[in-house]
Structure 1
């Protein structure tokens, strides 16, 4: 592993644990591996996910910061930008290889993910059906999203 990448990850980890983005807690899954972070994110107040507690996994490639991290929801969530399977892959523009820039910060990734809970991006969806419902039947979308929060993202 490149020493520069490791140093940067350790620095960013201490920044986000010392001053985490709003509604977010970060810790290492395994103290001996700085490449895998567990993120606990509260559903933002102004979203249908309010009151929910979501667990995400941030995986940093060996080539970080030259390759983007991977962010997955481990808690099921009804959202157009998160795959509706056991992977919970999140579709974030800034995490695509062609859009990722090495100066991007992991705290910005977490803020971006949380903002996507407030304002989904149905035009960049991984779940077409949910995106369609979000556009055409917002009330129905919010009702299902809230039901999923109760079912999967309640206090454990």
Structure 2
């Protein structure tokens, strides 16, 4: 009688242990999803490793979260624009934005209007968007439109937003990181001759990033 009952007891114990472990296995995934949908949560966390899931279901799940998140960010930035930043869709695509940031005051970029292109991956916000300058900029951390800033790579988190990205790029214009350059020549100039660096940055701003004044309408001859 003792030996007949023991297997059932063992099986019940195994089932209980498995059920107790299940919530812990999904806790990290649930936290990352909450951060993605609502990036303004006070307890937003870094993305956690998700458990095994069917690839088709996972891609569709991420796409739904991405579209919802992108629309939410666009609505917020359209209704309450961030100072010095504007965004709009490109050709009606939710995954491609055009943005403009204003050059910060008291920098060589002051007075410049810098257009950027923002391309969202289908896995956004679990992966960062690709952001590129559409005009030339003389800067240690910008080269051929590409931007070297950690929040677009190693420091990315689903809790970050386009608004925070644009503000970070504005801050980068004010405070270059010449110890981690993308344009090594500009970084060398920054360290060797800051005055010349600022002069070149200002010249590029005047040449490539100044908005074109509208042409006044011509008065027809009397």
- For normalisation by structure 2, the TM-score amounts to 0.65
Asked if residue 68 in structure 1 is aligned to residue 124 in structure 2, the reply is: no
In the other structure, the counterpart of 1:89 is 146
Q: Please tell me whether the aligned partners of residues 20 and 107 of structure 1 are also in contact (alpha carbons under 8 angstroms).
A: no
Runs of at least 4 residues of structure 1 off by over 4 A? none
Gaps of 5+ in 1: none
How many equivalent pairs are there?
A: 151
Query: Relative contact order, CA 8 A, sep 6+: which one is greater?
Result: 1
2:87 to 18, 22, 26: 26
In the other structure, the counterpart of 2:114 is 54
The CA deviation string for residues 126-155 of structure 1, in whole angstroms up to 9 with x for no partner, is: 101101111221110000001101111111
Stretch moving more, 110-119 or 11-20: 11-20
Give the distance between the partners of 1:28 and 1:124, measured in 2 at CA.
32
Gaps of 5+ in 2: 1-59, 213-222
RMSD of the alignment, in Å? 1.2
The CA deviation string for residues 48-81 of structure 1, in whole angstroms up to 9 with x for no partner, is: 1001111111111111001111110001110111
Give the distance between the partners of 2:78 and 2:181, measured in 1 at CA.
30
Q: Which has the higher helix share?
A: 2
Give the deviation of 1:104 after TM superposition. 1.1
Larger Rg computed on CA atoms: 2
